Amino acid sequence: MFSTQRRTFPDHIPKFLVSVFASVGSILYGYDLGVIAGVVASPDFEARFSPTEAQEGAVVSVFTGGAFFGAMFAGPAGDYFGRRLTILIGSVVFILGGGLQTGAQSLDYLYAGRVIAGVGVGFLVMIIPLYQAEIAHPSIRGSVTALQQFMLGIGALVASWTTFGTNQNFADNNSMQWRLSLGIQVIPAVVLGLLIMFFPESPRYTLSHDRHRIAIHD
């Protein structure tokens, strides 16, 4: 029994590390939820756009509206394209939305960027826990899927300190007060999108597409 444990335990480690990496999608969700509060409260943002309370509320809330639609389409996309490619799609969509937010010249840009980023996050927060559960060994599946909530909190924590730092270190007439904190969110999305295709596909997906030998090998 001892020798069996020695053979099987190392096999769990790569799957666990892949699952930890995939949780970057949850960091994006937590970060974008947390960062926007500091953005709309920054002096330069208020002076540049002069938003009403309703407009500020819209900038914040349209993100979750986009996430609703992203999550709705992530399931069919995951079954058709595979889990990894769906994660890639979510990352690319989020990058587009994050770029629009960072370079926003008006509130309309921000609305569009928030909606698009929300769609990307909707893809990620739906498909990543599924990918994690399907790829993880049963002995670590609970710990792995719990990473979703843990990483969301990490993202929100990083967002809070980032907006605090940008508001403290840039002048009130400098748009970097809020552009920098919005732009930082693109970095983990780029890393996730670039590297996810180097990781194994979900065995359940490969089995569902009659690729039994590949699924058993994975």
Range of the domain at 175: 24-217
Maximum Cα interatomic distance, the chain, rounded to a whole number of Å: 68
Number of domains within the chain: 1
Residue 12's pLDDT is: 52
Map residue 17 onto helix, strand or coil.
Answer: helix
Percent of the chain with pLDDT over 90: 55
Q: Is 70 a domain residue? A: yes
- pLDDT, one tens digit per residue, over 23-70 is 788 888 899 889 999 999 999 999 999 999 999 999 999 999 999 999
CB 98 within 8 A of CB 189: yes
Q: Is 12 a domain residue? A: no
138 DSSP assignment: G
Task: For residue 159, give the CATH number of its domain.
Answer: 1.20.1250.20
Tokens at 129, concatenated:
């826990």
pTM for this entry: 0.84
Q: Is 68 a domain residue? A: yes
Residue 92's pLDDT is: 96
- pLDDT, one tens digit per residue, over 140-157 is 777 777 777 788 889 999
CB 33 within 8 A of CB 151: no
